[in-house]
Each structure stands twice: as C-alpha cells, then as structure tokens.
A and B are shown apart, each in its own frame.
Chain A
Amino acid sequence: MRKFSSFISQKGFLFKLGLFICAFWIFVVIFVPLIATHSTTAQDLSIRYQPPSFSHFFGTDELGRDVFSRVMYGSRISLSAGIITVIIAFSFGIFFGGIAGYKGGKVDEVMMRFSELIMAFPPLILAMVIAAALGPSIINSVIAMAIIWWPNYARLMRSMVISLKESEYVTASRVMGASHIRVLFLEILPNSFGPLLVMATLDLGNAILMFSGLSFLGLGTQPPTPEWGSMVSDGAKVIQNWWVSTFPGLAIFSISIGANFVGDGLRDFLDPKLQKE
C-alpha cells in the first residue's frame, strides 16, 4: 500500500516547502498566544509607524500597534474564513456540477443557467449585497463568499463529468450493476479530483483576499480585529511605511503558494500513475 510518508520523501522540493508553510501556519494558528509579543489592540500613538526593530519585529502601524502580533493573530481569522469558504463552495460545487453533468439534458440546462445567474454579477458586489443583507459578521461574509464561489467548481466539475461519463470504465461499472450514485461518486468523482483540487488550493488565496475586501467595506471583521486583508489595505494608504502592508501581504502570499504546492502534490498522490514504485 502507498504510504503518505514515503510519498513525501519521493516528492520534490516544492511539495515539501508547501507542506512546511502550511504546517507553519497551522502551528501559528494554534499557538499564537505564545508567539505574539504584544497585544493586538494596544495603541500607543507615540510609536506610530516605527520601522521593524527588535522590539517590534514587523514595525508598528498608524495607531502604534505591533504589526507582528497582528499578523500572527490575523492568521486565525483569515485562514479559517478562507478555508471554510473554499470547503463550502467546493463541496456544493462538486455536488451541483456532478449532478448537472451526469444527468445532462434539461436538468443540466436549468442547473447551469442558475449557476450562470450567479456568475453574471460582479463577484465582490454580489458578495457585498448578500453579506449586507445577512448582516455584517464573519460567518455571514463566509456564507456570502461561498454563494458566489461555488459556480466555478460546479462548472469545472460538470465539464469533467461530461467527458468522463462517456468513458469505458463508467459503462463497465454500469454493466456490473452499479447504481447512478455509485458511478458518479465512486467512479467519476475520484477521476475528476485533480483539477478541482488545484483550483481549490489556488482559490484559497483569492478567498482570503476577497474576505479582506469585505472586511475593508465593514462587512466582515470589524476594526480593531486583526485581519490580513484589512491590514494590507490600511498600509496601502501609507506606502512609504512599507512594513505595514508588506508583512500581512507576505502572509497571504505564503499561504496561497504553500496551499498550491501542497494541492499540486496531493493531486499526484491521488493519481496512481504518477507513483514511483
């Protein structure tokens, strides 16, 4: 049997790097009270816009708050918002697109037009409308983002299913008496996982960015809660004090690229043909 540990050792540097980055952020999320050096909300206007130093690793922002501590604490909100959004959109999208592609015909037509209805609106605007209607909170913005995000997965899944449902092994498993549900979820779904997984890991970064967009508009987190996206946008106003936006930006960058490397490697792990013996 294939073991994940032996798989890691055969994989290249990028996969290990991605794994390391993800492990690092998970560690931070869990142990952040031990890592943070300052309170995230303590203001001290006498030290505003301090460049990075030994007392403030990432410098301080316009209210004199410690950027390092805020980035570390921000991981809890940004990461969970991003991950939960992608998971909801991913699961619903596969389910929806899978049924549309497998059923075909009128069912497909109606379901896909419905998904296009959602895609027809500019994503951020629609998310804003939904989040505003539900009332500003982290959970509501996550729901709003999932609602505008799932059609991407549904469309990808549908196109995979349409091509795979004609494959011989699907007919072969119908012939041996498999039900439609079994064919769709045990035969077709695993074979369409690769592209979906890569898309999901790429979307993680996008979801964090969009969440920060909503927060910036006052629909996600409220200040002074530390959140990467709003920290980037705060810092963008004072670009000469580069550290204010650079470090949260780097955090977003690192997690999206780390997730993507891991996703890429996982796809290979799921494909037995790419296994070395």
Chain B
Amino acid sequence: MTLLRVEDLTIKFKSRQGVVKAVDKLNFELAQGSSLGIVGESGSGKSVTSLTIMGLLQNANTEITGNIDFDGLDLLKLSPNEMRKIRGNSISMIFQEPMTSLNPLHTCGKQIMEPILIHQKDVSKQEAKNHAIELLRMVGIPSPEQRFHEYPHQMSGGMRQRIMIAIALACNTKLLIADEPTTALDVTIQAQILDLMNSLKKKRDMSIIMITHDLGVVKEMCEKVVVMYTGQIVEKSPTELVFTDPLHPYTRGLLNAIPKISSKVERLEAIEGTVPDALNMPSGCSFHPRCKYATEKCKLKAPPLFQLEDGREVKCFIYDGSKKGDDVNATK
C-alpha cells in the first residue's frame, strides 16, 4: 500500500536576486512499512523537500506546486490547522542536531508528553506520563522513571537523539522523516540509533524517509534510494543496485568518493567542480559541467528520467534507449 506519493513537486523561492528553484519536479512513492533514502550533497533540496512534506515551508516568498498525497490526504491543500493535527501525530520528524533540538528549559519527560497532550485530548496527564516512560524504555534509555525528570543537558548526544525519537513516536506515527539523524553522533552511537530505528520500523510497521549524505547509513537502513542533484532526481533504484551498479555519473562519483579501508590510496577521488549556483543554473543537464561523460547534447538539453527495464530510473542521456549502462564504457 502506498503511504506517500509525491508528484511533480516543485518548490521555488523568490529572492531579491531572482527566483530559485530549490526542488524541480520531484516524483517518488513510499509504501507503508518501507524506507526510502534521499541522498545528495548540501543544497540539493533534500531538507526543503522534507520540510514541505511537514508543511513547515509556507510563506509569501515560497511557491509550491505539485501534489503530496499522504494516506489519502493532499497535504498541500490542507489548512494550517489541519496540517498541525497531522504534524507530530501521523508524520514526525527527527533532526540532525540532538544537542539543540530539545528545549533546554523543559525536562525530557515533559517534552515527550507534549505531542501526546497536544494530539490526544482525552489522555490525562498521568496516562501521558506513563506512556512517556514507556516510550523512554522503548528507545532504550536506562531507568526511564528517573530520566523522565532530567533535563536535556544532563544527557549525552546519543541519549538525546533517543529522546527525539521517543518524541517523534509519541503518537501513532505512520511516517518518520529523519533528516540526517546520525550526522552529529559518533560511529558507535550512530550504529545503535540506526538499529533502534530499524527495529522500531518493523515493530510499528511505519515508513521512514532517511535524508542523508552518508551512503553507509543508506545501505544500512533503506530499501530504495533517490539520489538528488540541484533539486532534481538523478537516479532512483533499489539500495543494493546503487552500490553494486550505480548508473548516473554523479552517483558513481559519490561512491568513488567514499574512502575504502581495503585500498591504499593517497588521495580520495572527488567530483570535480562544485554545485552550481542556484540562481545561475547551467543550460541543459545541470550536472554537465562536472560530468566526465558530458557531450554537446548535454549542454543543450536536459535529459528526462529514463526508465530502465529493471525498473530503475536515471536522468542521463547515456541510458537513452539502452537497457543498461553498457555504453558508458564506450563513451570513456
């Protein structure tokens, strides 16, 4: 069953210098109980997409078009008040910075109780408290009764991220958006948090959108991956195939840039150049100035998303009419 369907989502920001297209014709689907990774470097539109799904990106200078269909509701057409009832209730989000995402003046317990008290009007304070302690236990915090009364500064980064997860799951969450949830944590804690999220996902049959630039996290967590570049999807495929057989030159570049413990190389490979200025996009394919395989055609015309026979999608002319990217080597 499809839980979330994003269709032709386009987000434009009006700035003094001109209109910036932060996200351009985004399409993806997410089934209930599955997980999707959105990968891309800074400025590729990952976080903007997630904030739009949460309905937090509404102001006079933002223009959002397209459809976001969540569980039969068109999120972009809901009133702010209706959207507020969904936020924190059936869609939740956790952030990159567990250090600053908790209010320093409220106890952790109080902050977990808050979404329960906001969204479930018939729940008494005592019930909410019991539920919050239960949630603390669920996310693996030792002696939850005592931790309930503690303040965020008394906890470590990993524990705070667990608290954030507990807050996000306080109501009956169907979709959890995790915006780089482990970036600020060290590797061992990172592994614990990812394990926790994986087990909760199975237990509650919820869907996760994992926004990250860490491909390792994606491999651990996600069934499908969407690779974004300058607000567009450049590749969409199942996770294993992204690692074994990346299609788009950009994805290949990303994978090559990961340091490997087995090989002895002095320098890491990097993708040449930088992300283009959002106000001054290159003509044709937005990746062509950095692409090794770029041809004249790429400079003139933006490639559409080609659908391959195995269901994968890629935005590159290399795959025009081909089953798989065999001719990449020929172009080399």
Contacts and interface: CB of A to CB of B under 8 A. Distances in A.
A171 B56 contact: yes
Interface residues of A, number: 21
B102 A172 contact: yes
Interface in A167-222: 167-169, 171-179, 182, 187, 190-191
A70 B100 CA distance: 54
B149 interface: yes
Contacts of A270: 105
Nearest to A182: B118
Contacts of A175: 54, 56, 87-88, 92-93
A3 interface: no
Given A173-B114, A175-B54, A190 B87 contact: no
A167 B84 CA distance: 19
Contacts of B56: 171, 174-175
Contacts of A178: 84, 88, 114, 118
A44 interface: no
Contacts of A276: none
A271 interface: yes
Contact of A1 (B93, B106, B149, B164): B149
Nearest to A1: B149
A169 B102 contact: yes
Interface residues of B, number: 30
B25 interface: no
A273 B151 contact: yes
A276 B330 CA distance: 69
A190 B105 contact: yes
A169 B164 CA distance: 10
A44 B287 CA distance: 97
B164 to A, nearest CB: 7
Contact of B95 (A171, A177, A187): A171
Given A174-B56, A273-B151, A168 B104 contact: no
Contacts of B170: 176
B167 A176 contact: yes
A52 B101 CA distance: 61
A272 B155 CA distance: 13
A177 B116 CA distance: 10
B119 interface: yes
Interface in A142-180: 167-169, 171-179
Contacts of A190: 103, 105-106
Interface in B99-143: 100-106, 114-115, 118-119
A189 to B, nearest CB: 10
Nearest to B167: A176
B87 A176 contact: yes
Contacts of B101: 168-169, 171-172
Q: Which of A172, A176, A178 has the most CB of B within 10 A?
A: A176
Nearest to B91: A175
Contacts of B168: 176
Contacts of A172: 93, 95, 101-102, 164, 167
Contacts of A173: 103, 114
Nearest to B86: A177
A177 B97 contact: no
A272 B87 contact: no
A176 B102 contact: no
Nearest to A177: B88
B151 A272 contact: yes
A272 B108 CA distance: 12
Contacts of A272: 104-105, 151, 153
Contacts of A171: 56, 95, 101
B114 A191 contact: no
A176 B84 CA distance: 8
A74 to B, nearest CB: 38
B49 interface: no
B77 interface: no
Listed from nearest, the 9 A-B pairs whose CB atoms lie closest are: A176-B88, A177-B88, A176-B115, A168-B100, A177-B87, A272-B151, A168-B101, A169-B103, A172-B101
13 contacts: A168-B95, A169-B101, A172-B102, A172-B167, A176-B118, A177-B85, A177-B87, A177-B118, A182-B118, A190-B103, A191-B103, A271-B105, A272-B105
Given A173-B114, A176-B88, 10 more contacts: A172-B93, A173-B103, A175-B92, A176-B115, A177-B86, A177-B89, A178-B114, A190-B105, A191-B105, A273-B104
